[in-house]
């Protein structure tokens, strides 16, 4: 069990910097997800923690010990690769026991720990098979088993579920969560899937272009995004984000349409400011088909034309046109709507977000 801390961690390939001096403290037994679009430096960061990439500058500490120059084997970590990276010439049993064999563990010890890991992951029937004889989900389990057997201080996951189909992914996600509850290790989990990050992690680190945009609990990054990028990245379907100008206590959109300036931002913006207005699909709904945010709700109503509907069973995503583009809204207890229908929409402005159009930072005071 260990803490992990990154201090001014930098990675560059020649003149090209891909990670720009990031700082991060991971608490003992914490489940941290690094999330961001491809090329944001999340995998590189993970590989530096694993010792598979050299650190260009900065510091990595695991359990308070500087590990910058230690080889991977001396860091007491284990890693699950996106590709699983199972040894194809070994059986599942040998794959699981490989690290113990290298460490020179006794046969009984090895058998005991392999049995333990295979028990946790339900691999008992597969121990004598080779990786080529396993399905994707089974390979994924073996890869996790190999990580568990080492009993590491820190688990590193590099997009472990991205090669599985949607159903299996959901299933394995639950298993990873259970696993963390069981083994109680520090976990650093890289993914580009914000749903995975939200469901699994204690805290989420959102990265973009080699910088950390925001670190916070799933609730924080969802409800209080610090930047326009985070607002657009977290949440599915994504937040509606539209540029507007502040004009005499109102938001003036490019199409000439207006919305009242949400009261929580009245103090922080003034006439002439260029802003980005954001509203989650949950906070814009056909009147009577959403959940009010409670006493503080600041509901503004307007008629909008429906362009497309996407029924999901218990809810329907309704795309309605405003300011020249489609705004996605979530309709609970759906009623049938057809494109072209005009529908009365409720916009809960108390839940709205405003970001500076220039810096992308939140304007919340």
Partner 1 sequence: MDQNSLHRARNKALGIAHGVGLFLAMLVICLPGIWIVLSSLRPTVEIMAKPPVWIPRELSLDAYVAMFSGVGKGGIPVFDYFRNSLIISVTSTVIAIVIGMAGGYAFARYRFRAKSAMFLGLMLTRTVPGIALSLPLFFVFARLGIIDTHFGLILVYVALNVPFTIWLIDGFFRQVPKDLAEAAQIDGCTRWQAFWQVEFPLAGPGIASAGIFAFLTSWNEFALASQLTRSINSKTLPVGLLDYTAEFTIDWRGMCALAVVMIIPALTLTFIVQKHLVGGLTSGAVKG
For binding to partner 1 (CB under 8 A), which residues are involved? 50-52, 71-73, 77-79, 81-89, 98-99, 102-103, 130-134, 136, 139, 146, 150, 163
- Burial class of residue 53 in the structure, from the number of CB atoms within 10 Å of its CB (0-12 exposed, 13-18 middle, 19+ buried): middle
Query: Which structure tokens are listed for 274?
Result: 């260029």
Please name the residues in contact with 228: beta carbons below 8 A apart, sequence gap of 6 or more. Answer: 241, 276, 278, 355, 360, 361
The Cα–Cα gap between 48 and 85 comes to: 18
How much of the chain is in helix, strand and coil states, percent to nearest 5? 30, 35, 35
Element spanning 136, H or E: helix 136-149
The span from the first CA to the last CA of the chain, in angstroms, equals 38
Q: What is the dihedral of CA 23, 191, 240, 353, to 10 degrees?
A: -30
Residue 18 corresponds to which tokens in the numbers above?
A: 């891909």
Q: Is the dihedral of CA 154, 159, 163, 166 positive or negative?
A: positive
Pair of tokens at residue 108: 């009984």
Q: What is the largest CA-CA distance in the chain?
A: 78
């Amino acid at each position: 069990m260990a803490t992990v801390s990154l201090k001014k961690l930098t990675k560059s390939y020649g003149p090209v910097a891909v990670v720009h001096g990031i700082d991060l403290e991971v608490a003992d037994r914490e489940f941290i997800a690094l999330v961001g679009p491809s090329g944001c430096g999340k995998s590189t960061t993970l590989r530096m923690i694993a010792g598979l990439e050299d650190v260009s500058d900065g510091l990595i500490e695991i359990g308070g010990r500087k590990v910058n120059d230690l080889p991977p084997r001396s860091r007491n970590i284990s890693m699950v690769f996106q590709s699983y990276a199972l040894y194809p010439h070994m059986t599942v049993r040998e794959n699981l026991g490989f690290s113990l064999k290298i460490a020179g563990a006794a046969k009984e010890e090895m058998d005991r720990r392999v049995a333990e890991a295979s028990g946790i992951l339900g691999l008992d029937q597969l121990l004598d098979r080779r990786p080529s004889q396993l399905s994707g989900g089974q390979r994924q389990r073996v890869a996790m088993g190999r990580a568990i057997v080492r009993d590491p201080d820190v688990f590193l996951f590099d997009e472990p579920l991205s090669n599985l189909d949607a159903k299996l992914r959901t299933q394995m996600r639950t298993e990873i969560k259970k696993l963390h509850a069981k083994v109680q290790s520090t976990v650093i989990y890289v993914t580009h899937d914000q749903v995975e990050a939200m469901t699994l992690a204690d805290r989420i680190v959102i990265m973009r272009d080699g910088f950390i945009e925001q670190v916070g609990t799933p609730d924080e990054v969802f409800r209080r995004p610090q930047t326009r990028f985070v607002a657009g990245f977290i949440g599915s379907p994504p937040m509606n984000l539209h540029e507007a100008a502040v004009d005499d206590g109102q938001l003036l959109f490019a199409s000439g349409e207006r919305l009242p300036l949400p009261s929580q931002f009245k103090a922080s913006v003034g006439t002439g400011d260029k802003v980005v207005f954001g509203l989650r699909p949950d906070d814009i709904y056909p009147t009577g088909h959403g959940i009010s945010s409670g006493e503080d709700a600041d509901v503004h109503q307007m008629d909008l034309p429906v362009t497309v509907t996407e029924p999901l069973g218990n809810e329907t995503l309704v795309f309605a046109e405003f300011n020249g583009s489609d705004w996605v809204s979530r309709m609970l207890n759906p009623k049938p709507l057809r494109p072209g229908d005009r529908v009365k929409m409720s916009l809960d402005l108390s839940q709205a977000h405003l970001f500076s159009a220039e810096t992308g930072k939140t304007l919340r005071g």
